[in-house]
Amino acid sequence: MNANRAREMFSQYHEGEADAHSAKVFERALEQDPALRQEYDEFVRAVELLSQFADEPVEIPSDLHEKISARLDNHVWEKKQAGTKKLFGLPSWASGLLATAAVACAVFAVVNRQQEGPGSHGDPLGPIVAKPKPAATSFAYVQGQVHLQVSAERPVEITVKRTADDKVEGKYSVPDKGTEVDAPLVNNEAKPVGLTVRVSDGQPPMFLVLPGKDRETESTGDGDLSALAHAVAAHFGTPVVLISPTTATKTYHWSFTEKDQAKDLVQRLSDVGVGAEILSSGLLRLQEGA
């Protein structure tokens, strides 16, 4: 997807109206193009800011009619007094136009001042409200159990799907500021399962590979970053967080035996060009190396 096509999808993706395939292609475009990602973030901020003003009623002052009439009466009186004199060297027809414009400006000023509150003079939109921060989304590893933890400053919806087939594994919500989600993620199957976590505030999805119940004593193969993560989870029983797996293009070779230990895994993966790190949560994070 090129940048122009991606820009056309900003609104559709933000409103959750894009189909699953288009959403994945769009997310891949954001991951590949930092400038486009910044444009989309600015778009989201602008939409949120405008939405804050959309529901605010415009109150017309009760004495607006009287103030306009007074301005017009005063203008008529001044015109009679001046007769056909020129205003600042301009012909009378130009003076009339200027006076009409002045009345229009006065009307705008009256309405504008009515809408402005104390401390907002000079700012027709009033005080700028700080943009809510994106939801804080993370994985925790507690006593061998992976937990999805989400907190947000505004209501958000969280969806957990299988990466392979988009099957929904769980739906959660943060209904109000100050509430949090702490949901255990479980895989009761024999083999590892890849999960995709999406939050409704438009931030990029998160990817996780959960180990299954069985362990492979030996594993040899070739594949992309996601395939490598599944092999690691199956052999070592380690949950793996993936960074931008949808844009990964490299092919990796792995060969794990019973003698391999998890403590040496980061170094071994780094040696073959994989960005590997043990997070403070205890989870392994993988991303495609430079």
pLDDT at 148: 94
Domain presence at residue 38: no
Structure confidence at residue 85 as a pLDDT band (50, 70, 90): very low
User: 253 or 19: whose pLDDT is higher?
Assistant: 253
% residues pLDDT > 70 (the chain): 70
pLDDT at 90: 47
The domain tally of the chain equals 1
State the residue range of the domain holding 175: 132-288
Domain presence at residue 184: yes
Order of strands across the sheet that contains 240-243: 168-174, 156-162, 193-199, 206-210, 240-243, 284-288, 274-278
Residue (of 245, 248, 217, 247) closest to 231 by Cα position: 217
Which tokens belong to 90? Answer: 């301009």
Structure confidence at residue 168 as a pLDDT band (50, 70, 90): very high
Residue 232 reports pLDDT greater than 70: yes
Domain presence at residue 54: no
Mean pLDDT of 125-130: 52
CA distances from residue 3 to 28, 136, 248 in whole angstroms, order as listed = 11, 28, 19
Residue 131 reports pLDDT greater than 50: yes
What is the pTM for the complete model shown? 0.56
User: 76 or 233: whose pLDDT is higher?
Assistant: 233
pLDDT at 75: 61
User: 75 or 209: whose pLDDT is higher?
Assistant: 209
Domain presence at residue 65: no
Cβ–Cβ < 8 Å for 32, 249: no
Q: Are strands 240-243 and 284-288 parallel, antiparallel or unpaired?
A: parallel
Mean pLDDT score of the chain: 78
Domain presence at residue 242: yes
- Alpha helix ranges (H) inside the chain: 3-8, 10-14, 20-32, 34-54, 64-82, 92-115, 225-236, 265-271
Domain presence at residue 81: no
Mean pLDDT of 16-40: 80
Domain presence at residue 148: yes
Domain presence at residue 243: yes
Mean pLDDT of 49-63: 61
pLDDT at 188: 93
Which tokens belong to 281? Answer: 């949560």
